[in-house]
Structure 1
């Protein structure tokens, strides 16, 4: 068997590729890795098994700086940057290049953004259906938002312009409200977004008693920039968050799945800040209105109570006057009755006294003596029987005088 130098075998393989793949072809794949260097973009294209997500094919590709410039000119800069992110499903126009030293590499000549957007939408719908089946779409929305949401745990990239807008809007609110914020930095774009956001949510959950709400903010972005927020894992974590989540993660007309599972979704970080300020402003307005209503009610009750007391006083005065007049009438009647009773008692006493006087006069010894009777006494003791008389002097009292007799 002939033995070939490696260079000859490599040259043979290069000619085979050149003869069999002379023109560019379209290939679909997922971007496993994306790196940039000196204006060139280096890609690792992978195809995964539908059964277990294992890699069944893998090739390296490159977008030369000149080709990237041409692609960006054909498509929008933001759209191209969004497509070339790890984890994106892509459809690329490529040519095969085999170099004797560097091996096989695919050269990217063009991209199909619609394919990526369509793939993102399919994944978005699949995530929505899975969340709906798990009963997670409305879970976070059912958590009550405190009436004074001032203690905020913020998840955002620490250099994000949207974060600066949010913080500036809170600090410069016209009412002077004070908000207490803690930043939990996380990637807001790319392959690390899901893992970092979920890690921050776990950290916040351990300190949930310190906060009123979670705020998730980032700057504006296209659909491809926000792809991570359509993934099931991050949406499930947001739905299960122990606090209400307020999100302002982009400007797209179409919402991400994360917008559907949070407590409240607003289009921009500034809009989230405005919402929080309005919550406090509305509460202050309700409090002032309630205070005025209480003051008005208190004044009405006071006036009513004064009128009631005056009415009671008038009624009491009238009742007292009537009672006093009735008492005077009863006193006069009682006085007259007492006087009448006294006169009657006096008359009765006088009659009785006259009767007693007459009886006394009738019983007086003088009266008896005047009828011819006499009183016999001896030694100062009345004699009522003959046997009581002793020898000696006996006194006999008559009406007109006394006589003395001697018993012998």
Structure 2
């Protein structure tokens, strides 16, 4: 066949596109006269004019390849009715990445094509699936003894340099900062934010990146804090992640979690050094820990002072007693007592000097340990911290041409641009 000799199709029996779509509509209506329950994963969800539009998918057994997908809709009026009957659990299950059981009416519109109209949703199905998967993750963590690694790390005497993983926009992060700000006049606590998504698909990627950055410069920090605001049970789903739990468990620094849930424990809570209920409680834990050290230091100082004083009083009493004995003794005993006094004097002098040296050495050691932990001292020694958008730079590959950098010095900051 050539363009010069086209085949004449004018006599071929054909139908219009509308007629084809109309027939498909009738076939589907005949085969699916009633709504049917379907289980699928929510791949995407969009809200427009109070209507909710979904892309539902089913993946293979490995959970990697999509083997089926369809569009679905939940109209605003039907959502309102379901919200009244299902309660707040409805919103908890309508999230990307969760598997849902939905009652759908199969439709095919001549203009808009195939669509599943959602009539009902069973939140218990999604919650059951979530807890089943969560238990599998917990079992895997315990089988590999990952929940014991963080507990074996010693907690520093003072927590002054904190690496925080959170979102700068999260209310929980602001609560954490406010709690530390209230004790600024009593103790100097520095915290550096490593920005991360705290909900949704990007949590795993962002948090692994933040943990890697902290691990590369772990000597600059005393501990890691992971915080976020509160939410429902399924809001913790992003933290029930084995890869994140494994990475957190193997961190060289003690990790504190405060993810804002009073009842349920996430996989990250299970492996953390300490798990706190809220960001505010996490900040208070740090404050109380530091106050406890200051109290121990004060007790040690008082004990040392009291001990030296008691030694002095005891030796003074011995001298007084010897003096009385000398007054009532003859010449020969007087010489003997004189020698004893000289010996006691030397012994007293040696004891006092020894206790004072030990006290001075202990106080100097404690003072030196505290000074060396202060970032200001590190900067004063000539070191600097280079950061881009709040993140610490560790190698040149992180910096592109024309990037603006902040160099933190002992006195002041510099802003430079790579050319």
TM-score when normalising by structure 1? 0.75
Given the alignment of the two structures, is residue 162 of structure 1 paired with residue 172 of structure 2, yes or no? yes
Note closer, same or farther for the CA distance 1:28–1:324 as it changes in structure 2 (3 Å cut). closer
Kept in 2, the 8 Å contact 1:221–1:252? The answer is no
What SS does the aligned partner of 1:224 have? helix
Distance apart, 1:13 and its partner CA: 0.6
Given the alignment of the two structures, is residue 172 of structure 1 paired with residue 182 of structure 2, yes or no? yes
Alignment partners' CA distance in 1, 2:246 and 2:42: 24
What SS does the aligned partner of 1:279 have? helix
Aligned equivalent of 1:132: 142
Alignment partners' CA distance in 1, 2:334 and 2:319: 22
What SS does the aligned partner of 2:146 have? coil
Kept in 1, the 8 Å contact 2:226–2:257? The answer is yes
Alignment partners' CA distance in 1, 2:75 and 2:151: 47
Aligned equivalent of 1:259: 269
Aligned equivalent of 1:63: 74
Distance apart, 1:175 and its partner CA: 6.4
Query: In structure 1, which of residues 211, 216, 237 is the aligned counterpart of residue 226 of structure 2?
Result: 216
Distance apart, 1:276 and its partner CA: 0.8
Aligned equivalent of 2:100: 90
Alignment partners' CA distance in 2, 1:205 and 1:40: 44
Alignment partners' CA distance in 2, 1:140 and 1:60: 45
Distance apart, 1:155 and its partner CA: 0.9
What SS does the aligned partner of 2:234 have? coil
TM-score when normalising by structure 2? 0.73
Given the alignment of the two structures, is residue 200 of structure 1 paired with residue 210 of structure 2, yes or no? yes
Structure 2: 5+ residue stretches without partners? 1-11, 337-419
Distance apart, 1:317 and its partner CA: 7.8
Kept in 1, the 8 Å contact 2:45–2:95? The answer is yes
Aligned equivalent of 2:123: 113
Aligned equivalent of 2:385: none
Note closer, same or farther for the CA distance 1:306–1:57 as it changes in structure 2 (3 Å cut). same
Aligned equivalent of 2:60: 49
What SS does the aligned partner of 1:170 have? helix
Kept in 2, the 8 Å contact 1:154–1:184? The answer is yes
Alignment partners' CA distance in 2, 1:30 and 1:315: 98
Structure 1: 5+ residue stretches without partners? 327-408
Kept in 2, the 8 Å contact 1:223–1:252? The answer is no
Distance apart, 1:124 and its partner CA: 0.8
Kept in 2, the 8 Å contact 1:229–1:258? The answer is yes
Kept in 1, the 8 Å contact 2:326–2:333? The answer is no
Deviations 1:37-93 (A, max 9, x none): 23222212111222463222211112222222222222234x333212111111111
What SS does the aligned partner of 2:235 have? coil
What SS does the aligned partner of 1:98 have? strand
Aligned length: 325
Alignment partners' CA distance in 1, 2:330 and 2:44: 101
Distance apart, 1:3 and its partner CA: 2.3
Aligned equivalent of 1:362: none
Deviations 1:251-291 (A, max 9, x none): 24121121111110111111101111110111111111222
Kept in 1, the 8 Å contact 2:137–2:240? The answer is yes
